[in-house]
Amino acid sequence: MGSFVRYNCKALWLLAVCTAAFGLIALSAEAQTGRSPNASAGESAIEEQPGVVPTPGDEQLPAIYQRQIVFYRTAEAPGTIIVDTADRHLYLVQGNSRAIRYGVGVGRDGFRWEGLLHISRKAEWPDWTPPPEMIERQPYLPRFMAGGPGNPLGARAMYLGSTVYRIHGTNQPYTIGSAVSSGCIRLVNPDVVDLYDRVPVGTKVIVQQKPQV
C-alpha cells in the first residue's frame, strides 16, 4: 500500500512539472510572436464598437507590430504593397531590399483571401456603411456612420479595385495582430495615415496567405 501511495505521489509530481513546463513554452511563444498562441480561438468573437475613440496610449503597439524599416527581399517594384496575412504584417517596398513594415489585423476564418489588386480610391475619415451580413450578425450597429475618430474605418481608407475590401484604420487598436475582420486590412490610425500619405491611387497591392520563399 505504501509503495502505491509513493508511486501516485511521484506521478502527480511529474504531471505538475510537465504542466509548468508547458505553461512556460506557451508564454515564450506569446512573447516571441506578440500574440497569444490561443488567440485564434477567440479572434472571431471580437465585434465592431462604433463610437469608441482610442487614446494615443491605446495605439502604442507591441514592438513586433510597430512601424519600422526592415530587410525585405522581393522582385516587386518600390511602392508596391505586400500584405502577409499569416504574419500580420503589411510591407511597403522601398527598394534595395528594404521595406516599411506595418502591423495589421486581417480577415478571420471564412473571410480570408489572396490576390492582386490596385488602390482604386482613397478617402480621409471615410464614412461607414456596414454590409447587410454584418448587420445580421450585429443588429445593434448603425446603418450609416459619418467619418470621425469613433468610426470603425478609422482615419483613412484605401479601396481595393471594385471589391468590398479596403486597407483602413481602426478604432480598435488592440485587434492589430489578430484575424478578426471581414476581409479588410486594418492598421492603427497613425500607421494608416503614414501609409496613405506614401501611396497614390493605382498602387499595386498583393495579399498573400503565405510569405514568399
Interatomic CA distance for residues 136 and 145, integer angstroms: 17
The bridge status of strand 106-107 relative to strand 179-181 is parallel
* Residue 9 a catalytic site member: no
Is 118 catalytic? The answer is: no
Residue 125 to residue 135: CA distance in whole angstroms:
21
Read out DSSP for the chain?
A: -HHHHHHHHHHHHHHHHHHHHHHHHHHHHHHHHSS-TTHHHHHTT----TT----TTTT---GGGS-EEEE---SSPTT-EEEETTTTEEEEEEETTEEEEEE-BEE-TTS---EEEEEEEEEES--B---HHHHHH-TTS-S-B-SSTT-TT-SEEEEETTSS-EEE--S-GGGTTSEEESS-EE--HHHHHHHHHH--TT-EEEEESS---
Residues acting as catalytic residues? 168, 184
